[in-house]
């Protein structure tokens, strides 16, 4: 396959893939519900549900491998062991540079996820520690912290789950790549296959979210508060940078005045800096109002508004930092 074909293949997968597939439990739970609804029908084909279950686990795995690698340098550094058989060519590098696809996209579509063991090994490698001990104790934070339910591990028996999912992957391989004379599995096993797949995806999702974001807020109110605090922190950082910029510009205005290079009509460099900041702030707030227009009246609006404001504020911070660096080099 040519480099261009590989790039197009990855892009096609990203465009077709439903965004919520990174959250594996949802799609698998919907599949289980559909199986319960249709399993007594003569038209029901159990093989479809078995094959689909493995597919959803694979999609969940690839999406989360990509997200982990792209999230932080720690994970991308560890991913070097996933690249031993990967050839990075010019076309792929160009697409990465243009952000059409990411390093995580390329690596996640280059690794094998044909067995339960491979999935566990990949996440253990990227996290830098064994995943099994984490899966044995991880709990559903929303259920325990919001609904106040007992802290029961998501995976009730890791060894049983491992054997069940190993059998699931093996059955899928036989059905898809061989022509067996007899039954590969009993339809009654599908409930257990799907239940264990949901446990795996749910457990990994909790682990990966905590590894990436720590003890993040779970309720809408807490999310709104946290987003507001992050925005305030970004604004304070911008304020400190602008204060430094104003000090430098004010000194320059004084030098201009001493050298009689400035005008006497109040048109100073400092005035232009302050006008620039006031205009930018008006734009930022107007953009946030536009961005959250469809969220009016909703409890999520403060979160969306703060996130957009933080994004724009961080861009402004980058611009001011760049100016300060250039001014220091002048």
Look at residues 308, 282, 284, 281 and name the one whose alpha carbon lies nearest to residue 294.
308
3-state secondary structure at position 149: coil
Domain boundary among 213, 228, 254: 213
Q: Which pLDDT tens digit goes with each residue over 267-322?
A: 888 999 999 999 999 999 999 999 999 999 999 999 999 999 999 999 999 999 99
Q: Does 232 share its domain with 206? A: no
**Over 90: is that where the pLDDT of 323 sits?**
yes
CATH number at residue 320: 1.20.1270.180
* Angle, CA of 170, 176 and 181, to the nearest 5°: 85
pLDDT value of residue 42: 87
Asked whether residue 238 carries a pLDDT value surpassing 50, the answer given is: yes
Instruction: Scan for tokens 């339809």, then name that residue.
Output: 187
223 C-beta neighbours (distance < 10 Å), count: 18
Do 114 and 228 lie in a common domain?
no
Among 69, 47, 65, 68, which residue's Cα sits nearest to residue 57? 65
Residues 177 and 241 in one domain: no
pLDDT > 70? residue 185: yes
- Are residues 155 and 27 located together in one domain of the fold? yes
Q: What is the pLDDT of residue 247?
A: 95
End position of a domain, from candidates 193, 213, 233: 213
Among 147, 178, 213, where does a domain finish? Answer: 213
State how many domains the chain has. 2
Other Cβ atoms within 10 Å of 166 Cβ, number: 13
* 47 close to 175: Cβ distance less than 8 angstroms: yes
Under 8 Å CB-to-CB from 290, ≥6 apart: which residues?
Answer: none
245 contacts 320 by C-beta, under 8 angstroms: yes
C-alpha torsion 137→143→149→153, nearest 10: -20
Is it the case that residue 90 has pLDDT exceeding 60? no
Q: Are residues 46 and 151 located together in one domain of the fold?
A: yes
Distance, CA of 231 to CA of 309 (rounded, Å)? 7
pLDDT over 70 at 5, yes or no: no
CA quadruple 30, 35, 41, 43: dihedral sign = positive
30 or 102: whose pLDDT is higher? 30
Question: Under DSSP, is residue 47 helix (H, G, I), strand (E, B) or coil?
Answer: helix
Residues 202 and 308 in one domain: no
181/307 same-domain check? no
Tally Cβ neighbours within 10 Å of residue 196.
Answer: 24
Looking at the fold, whether 167 and 107 belong to one and the same domain comes out as yes
Give the model's pLDDT for residue 97: 47
Whether residue 239 sits in one domain with residue 184: no
What residues have CB less than 8 Å from 31, skipping those under 6 apart? 49, 52, 53, 56, 194
pLDDT, greater one: 81 or 92: 81
Q: DSSP secondary-structure letter at 297?
A: T
Model pLDDT for residues 107-127, shown as the tens digit of each residue: 888 889 999 999 999 999 999
Whether 132 and 250 map to the same domain: the answer is no
Let me know whether 18 and 158 are in one domain. yes
User: Please, which pLDDT band fits residue 1 given cuts at 50, 70 and 90?
Assistant: very low
Residue 263 has pLDDT above 80, yes or no: no
The phi-psi region of residue 46 (left if phi > 0; otherwise alpha if psi is between -120 and 50; otherwise beta) is alpha
Query: Rounded CA gap, 69 and 175, in Å?
Result: 33
* Predicted local confidence at residue 179, as pLDDT: 86
Q: Are residues 278 and 149 in the same domain?
A: no
What are the φ and ψ backbone dihedral angles of 20, each rounded to 5 degrees? -80, 0
- Structure tokens that stand for 302 in this block: 């403060």
Residues of the domain holding 24 = 3-213
């Amino acid at each position: 396959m040519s480099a261009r074909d590989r790039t197009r293949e990855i892009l096609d997968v990203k465009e077709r893939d439903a965004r919520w597939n990174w959250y594996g439990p949802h799609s698998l739970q919907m599949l289980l519900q559909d199986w319960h609804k249709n399993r007594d029908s003569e038209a029901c084909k159990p093989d479809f549900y078995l094959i689909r279950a493995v597919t959803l686990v694979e999609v969940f795995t690839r999406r989360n491998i990509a997200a982990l690698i792209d999230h932080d340098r720690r994970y991308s550094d560890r991913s070097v062991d996933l690249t031993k058989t990967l050839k990075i060519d010019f076309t792929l590098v160009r697409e990465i540079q243009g952000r059409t696809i990411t390093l995580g996209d390329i690596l996640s579509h280059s690794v094998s996820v044909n067995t339960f063991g491979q999935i566990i090994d990949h996440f253990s490698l990227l996290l830098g520690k064994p995943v099994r001990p984490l899966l044995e104790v991880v709990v559903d934070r929303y259920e325990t912290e919001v609904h106040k339910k007992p802290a029961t591990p998501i995976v009730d028996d890791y060894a049983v789950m491992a054997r069940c999912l190993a059998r699931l992957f093996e059955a899928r391989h036989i059905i898809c790549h061989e022509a067996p004379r007899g039954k590969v599995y009993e339809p009654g096993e599908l409930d257990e296959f799907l239940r264990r797949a949901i446990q795996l995806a749910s457990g990994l999702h909790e682990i990966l979210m905590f590894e990436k974001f720590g003890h993040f807020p779970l309720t809408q109110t807490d999310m709104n508060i946290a987003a507001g605090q992050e925005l305030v922190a970004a604004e304070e950082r911008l304020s400190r940078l602008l204060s430094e910029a104003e000090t430098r510009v004010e000194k320059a205005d004084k030098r201009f005045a001493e050298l009689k290079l400035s005008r006497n009509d109040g048109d100073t460099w400092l005035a232009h800096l302050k006008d620039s900041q006031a205009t930018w702030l008006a734009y930022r707030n107007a953009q946030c109002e536009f961005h959250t227009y469809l969220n009016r009246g909703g409890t999520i609006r403060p979160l969306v508004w703060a996130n957009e404001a933080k994004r724009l504020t961080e861009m402004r911070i980058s611009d001011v930092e760049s100016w300060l660096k250039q001014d220091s080099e002048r």
